[in-house]
Amino acid sequence: MEENKKLKSELGSRAVDVIENVVGTFPGYRRAHAKGNGYEGVFTPNGKAAPITVAAHLQNEAVPVTIRFSNSSPIPSHPDALSPVKGMAVKFQLPDGDVTDLITVTIPLFFAKTPEAFVDIVDFFKSAKDGFPNLKELATIFIKYPECKASLQMLKEMRSPASFSTCQYYSIHAFYFINADGRRQAIKYQWEPDAGLSMLAKEEVAMLSSDYLNEDMEERLQQGPIGFKLNIQLGGENDPTDDPTVVWSEDKQVITVGQLSITKKLDSFADNLLFDPTNITAGIECSEDPILHFRHRVYAVSYDRRTHNQ
Ligand code: HEM
């Protein structure tokens, strides 16, 4: 048991090491989603989740939130347009003083089903990054991990968004909601933008500054708050709860459970905040997804290094 725990913890460091091997080390920065900005806002639940979860922020009382929008790249100087997947991390401050996190991205599925697959696949990108993608190795990756193809294909087709506020964001992982009777319901989260979806053509992106997303948010916030609906998708019997490489079908029941209103950019954003997808409150449980649990260890390693100026 102890041995198993140690191996798992080592794999967490190994995941951060492989990222650093591919892109380099940027002391003080997150090892993924390195460039981002903080905002504050309010989340107002509409009570529709109350029959299926006792989670405090999903009842009837509005709660303050801290939000971090980010580029997915581990390179902090990467221009916004070069990093099509965007992140939205939300920390809800609960009435009892506790916090709960919800981390989402603009792609609905992930490329790895297990921690080992993540390490192998990212390791492969080292050869691609050196300018000589080893095609034999790529073929081996596809044979060993065919499930990675769907997300890599989607990634290839993704365009840069007009704004952080015009993207739909997905939790990718499933979670369980637990109600007052102890009943469990599998769910996935989505943030739906009030502004609607808007992506840019390649020619439009070429005209923009490397920091255009931050500038866009500042301009929009001068006009008023930025809104998102929090939706949950209810999982059925055949929807996998342990596999982030698979999306649940679109016709699944989707319920809006609350409204986020982002009001202000945080000037002195304490970037030593840690958003952890397994940091959840009573009424919510992690699914069996091994990637979800692995992220807890990886983020702790990244946090430890960046807060020790490594
Ligand atoms: C094996 C899988 C994954 C690994 C190894 C990984 C790695 C990392 C690392 C090292 C960080 C920086 C953590 C920190 O220093 O605070 C990070 C941040 C982040 N990751 Fe992941 N990640 C994985 C899967 C995912 C998935 C499936 C999502 C989809 C929701 C995701 C979304 C994000 C976001 C949005 C952030 C930025 C959070 C913030 O703003 O603080 N990651 N990831």
CA of 295 to the centre of ligand 1 (A): 7
Ordered DSSP codes for the chain: -HHHHHHHHHHHHHHHHHHHHHH---TTS-SSS-SEEEEEEEEEE-STTTTT---GGGSS--EEEEEEEEES-S-TTS-GGG---EEEEEEEE-TTS-EEEEEEESSS--S-SSHHHHHHHHHHHHHHHTT---HHHHHHHHHH-TTHHHHHHHHHH---BS-GGG--EE--S-EEEE-TT--EEEEEEEEEETT---B--HHHHHTS-TTHHHHHHHHHHHHS-EEEEEEEEEP-TTS-SS-TTSPPPTTS-EEEEEEEEEEEE-TT--TT----TT---TTEEE-S-HHHHHHHHHHHHHHHHHHTT-
Burial class (CB in 10 A: 0-12, 13-18, 19+), 25: middle
Ligand 1 pocket, residue 85 CB under 6 Å: no
Query: In terms of residue numbers, what domain contains 62?
Result: 2-307
CATH of the domain at 256: 2.40.180.10
HEC string of 256-300?
EEEEEEEEEECCCCCCCCCCCCCCCCCCEEECCCHHHHHHHHHHH
Test site for ligand 1: of 33, 122, 148, most ligand atoms within 8 A of the Cβ: 33
Test site for ligand 1: of 171, 295, 304, most ligand atoms within 8 A of the Cβ: 295
Determine the atom of ligand 1 nearest the C-alpha atom of 87. 35
- Provide Rg for the chain, Cα atoms: 19
Q: Could you identify the residue written with the tokens 């390195």? A: 34
CA of 181 to the centre of ligand 1 (A): 33
Ligand 1 pocket, residue 90 CB under 6 Å: no
Profile the chain (310 residues) by mean pLDDT over runs of 10 residues.
Answer: 66 96 95 97 98 98 98 96 95 97 98 96 80 78 95 94 98 98 98 97 90 97 98 95 94 93 89 95 98 97 95
Return the C-alpha torsion angle 122, 127, 133, 134, nearest 10.
Answer: -100
CA of 180 to the centre of ligand 1 (A): 31
Determine the atom of ligand 1 nearest the C-alpha atom of 171. 30
Ligand 1 pocket, residue 172 CB under 6 Å: yes
What is the model's pLDDT at position 268?
77
Q: Apex CA 195: angle with CA 35 and CA 49, to 5°? A: 90
Cα–Cα distance for residue pair 126/14, rounded to 1 Å: 14
CA of 32 to the centre of ligand 1 (A): 6
- Per the structure block, which two tokens stand in for 230? 């929090």
CA of 23 to the centre of ligand 1 (A): 15
What is the model's pLDDT at position 83?
87
What is the model's pLDDT at position 47?
98
Q: Measured in Å, how far apart are the chain's first and last C-alpha atoms?
A: 31
Ligand 1 pocket, residue 31 CB under 6 Å: yes
Cα–Cα distance for residue pair 189/179, rounded to 1 Å: 17
Are 291 and 81 in contact by the 8 Å Cβ rule? The answer is no
Q: Is 170 annotated as contributing to ligand binding?
A: no
What is the model's pLDDT at position 249?
86
Total of domains in the chain: 1
| Closest residue by CA, ligand 1 atom 34 | 87
308 catalytic per annotation: no
| Closest residue by CA, ligand 1 atom 24 | 295
